[in-house]
A and B are shown apart, each in its own frame.
Chain A
Amino acid sequence: MIEHSLPASLTPKPGSKVGLFQPGLEVTKYQTGPKSSRLWQGFMLREINYTLSTLVHGSDKLKLWERYLNQIAKDGGTGWYADPLTGTHDNVQCGPPADGSQTTFPLPVQGATDLWLYLDGALVAPTEYTLHAVANLLDDDSAGFADGKGEFRAGTSVLAYQVEGIALDGLCSLQLVPQVVSTDSVFWMVASGCPAVTVGQEYTAIAHALGSHDMTLAINWLDNLDAVLSTDTSTTTLSGSLSAWQALTVTATAPTDAVKAQLVITAVNPADTSACYWDCVGLAPGDLTRWWLPSLAPMAVEMSSAPTTNYRLLADATGKRLSKCRLAKMSNSWGLSSPGHAKPQSFKASEEVWL
């Protein structure tokens, strides 16, 4: 699942506002007391009113802004907003209610300290969870291809290009062009750029593809000499589709002596040399299958056992809070403030109760 974030280069201007609100229930007068005695929600939510800094014509900022609006507005989707300041936050939602099997949850506070976790209202002991610094261990370029191909390199029988326009998140994606028919086209990360891993820790790799070939995603576990110890490959091979991006995931545990995880994407036995596209690639700790751009990603909390179904994990923490919000209606995305300068309109977004 793709979690779009407001690009970091789009910064709120002075005068932008961040608040808390209690949405939901308006309780009518009842025999148990007056309306003013009610708590309406279990936790308070963010409400932001932002005006972004001026966008200069021709810069990527205007493209990013419009692309972002398109990506989050599709299907009434949500977008993430990072607080510009560090603060202390209570009752931050760590993902949707538990499904009984998931053990890893996002912690939407970057650089969290003074962390207290609550599961269904009860304090969670620190021995019952592991805190991970970030929910996507790649760098931004390797995860979103915004500035080149990142740490990925063409392996065998394939050429690769960064292309703008076709993208699942942001402006760019990676185009792979098979060079030899009926031979696997392999594309992988260079060993020096692979993220470090911990032996015995579970990881989930995720990538999204668009194309007419069957495709797979794999993790090569590398030792300290960059030799491949073993490989775990996605159990599902994507049937090619030019109509929709499809997700591939592989979850595996780092074997003994593993030092790095090398992601490998493959166009399997292509019948022709038509291009395919990849975007939103990530490596997350645990069984988290959500994708964020690494620099805007939350932390992750891995519980020692899967919480009971329907229990919600909440956190108190100090750090930079991230909020998953839905935009209120906006009539204009920007206005022309002076020739060559576009001024984004103010917009309002309200944090979602994560379902």
Chain B
Amino acid sequence: MLSYTTDQATLLDGRDQVTAICVEIDCTTPLRYTTWSSPILLGGVWYQPRGMDTRGLKLDTPTKSTASINLDDINGDIRTVWYPDPFSQLDVTVTQVHLDHLNTWVTTLEIPWKCKACQYNPKGAQFTVLLTMAGGLKPKAGLEVGTIELFPYAPKAGEPIKLGTNGGVTVPSGYRSPPPPPGGYAPPARDTSPSIDTGIDNGVGTGVLGGGPGPRPGMETSDDRQQTHEES
């Protein structure tokens, strides 16, 4: 008869992992709800079961700066809190939890959001919390990752990178290469005859973007940058 090691047994148990989402709205008396069907004790506080639609949330690698959660509010208790205490700019923490083999809920992912706005749909009796990623970790256009407090002026994914006062380059969400180096397009001078690329590096760039003078001594090249990111 085959026997399993403890680690193997744990892995086997994990084939039917139980997962739930917990949401905390940090109002005066925090509202804490879970998608699980019974209350969850997490971090010393209870999350109460509530019908929620969390499909708008991306839990693996956040790629959007906004999201929303729909909560059932048939009995009106969320609205009762919301009317005198608008949720705008309040912290909203979304936590993914797993039930381990000791019957304890373990946090596997925690994403801090901020409430941007709320709305109530009386027909569906759903209370919608619109979220913004102001407090969350997300990749910025330059592939640096950090909070908005750490990089207050960093553009968000999908936001144009402004070069000067006119125009900009839009970096689409999920773009994984560094933004183009500055310099822009440098048209050839009218009085310059077309040149033929001979393959000889004469110190003059030939690309469209990043054209102009070649790298100054000590300046990081694009190849260097790529290597740096791969190492990180």
Instruction: Spell out A's residues near B (CB within 8 Å).
Output: 23-33, 37-43, 75-76, 97, 120-121, 309-312, 353, 355
- Per the bound structure, the CA–CA distance linking A76 and B57 in Å amounts to 27
Select from chain B the residue with minimum beta-carbon distance to A43.
B37
Name the distance in Å between B15's Cβ and chain A's nearest Cβ. 6
What are 16 A-B contacts with C-beta separation under 8 Å?
A: A24-B37, A25-B19, A25-B21, A25-B54, A28-B60, A30-B59, A30-B108, A31-B60, A32-B108, A33-B17, A37-B17, A39-B16, A310-B48, A312-B37, A353-B49, A355-B48
Chain A residues near B209: list those with CB within 8 A.
none
Closest 4 CB pairs of A and B: A310-B39, A25-B35, A42-B37, A312-B38
A42 and B50 within 8 A (CB): no
Decide: A121 and B103 in contact? CB cutoff 8 A: yes
Name the B residues within 8 Å of A312 (CB-CB).
Answer: 37-39
Partner of B51 from the list A24, A37, A39 (CB cut-off 8 Å) is: A24
Q: A29-B60, A310-B46 are in contact. Are A37 and B16 (CB under 8 A)?
A: yes
A91 to chain B, nearest CB (A): 9
Query: Bound complex: CA of A26 vs CA of B109, how far in Å?
Result: 16
**Contacts across chains A and B counted by CB atoms under 8 Å:** 78
Q: How far is the CB of B64 from chain A (nearest CB, A)?
A: 13
Let me know if B36 and A42 touch, CB within 8 A.
yes
Tell me which residues across on chain B come within 8 A of A120, comparing CB atoms: 38
Please, how many angstroms separate the alpha-carbon atoms of A97 and B37 in the complex?
A: 10
CB distance from B146 to the nearest CB of A (A): 21
Interface size bracket, B side: 20 to 34
Taking A33-B14, A42-B36, A310-B39 as given, write out 18 further A-B residue pairs in contact, using a Cβ cutoff of 8 Å, ordered by the A residue number: A24-B36, A24-B51, A25-B54, A27-B19, A28-B55, A30-B59, A32-B17, A32-B108, A38-B18, A39-B16, A39-B18, A39-B19, A42-B37, A42-B38, A76-B125, A97-B38, A310-B38, A355-B50
Residues of B within 8 A of A75 (CB): 74-75
Q: How far is the CA of A41 from the CA of B40 in the complex (A)?
A: 12
Q: Which residue of A has the minimal Cβ distance to B20? A: A25
Q: Chain B interface (Cβ within 8 Å of chain A)? A: 14-21, 35-39, 41, 46, 48-52, 54-55, 57-60, 74-75, 96, 98, 103, 108-109, 125
Which A residue's beta carbon lies closest to that of B55?
A26
The distance from the CB of A327 to the nearest CB of chain B, in whole angstroms, is: 12
Q: Specify the chain B residue showing the minimal Cβ separation from A312.
A: B38
A41 close to B37 (CB less than 8 A) = yes
Chain A residues within an 8 Å CB radius of B35? 24-25, 40
Distance in angstroms between the alpha carbons of A25 and B34 in the assembled complex: 10
Rounded to whole Å, the gap between the CB of A11 and the closest CB of chain B is: 28
Residues of chain B within 8 A of A23, CB atoms compared: 51
Nearest chain A CB to B14's CB is how many angstroms away? Answer: 8
Determine whether the beta carbon of A353 is less than 8 Å from that of B37: yes
Interchain CA distance A257-B49 in the complex, whole Å: 45
Q: A310 touching B60 by the CB < 8 A rule?
A: no
When distances are taken between beta carbons in the complex, the residues of chain B under 8 Å from A311 are 39
Residue of A nearest to B109 (CB): A30
Q: Say yes or no: A30-B37 contact (C-beta < 8 A), given A37-B16, A76-B74.
A: no
Closest to A33 in B: B17
Hey, which chain A residues are within 8 Å of B38, CB to CB?
42, 97, 120, 310, 312
Nearest Cβ distance between residue A120 and chain B, in whole angstroms? 8
CB contacts (< 8 Å) of A38 on chain B: these are 17-19
Within the complex, the shortest CB–CB distance from B163 to chain A, in Å, comes to 36
Given A42-B37, A76-B125: A28 touches B19 (CB 8 Å cut-off): no
Count chain B CB atoms within 10 A of each CB in A29, A32, A33 and give the residue with the most.
A32
Do B96 and A30 have beta carbons less than 8 Å apart? Answer: yes
| Chain B residues closer than 8 Å to A42, beta-carbon distance | 18, 36-38
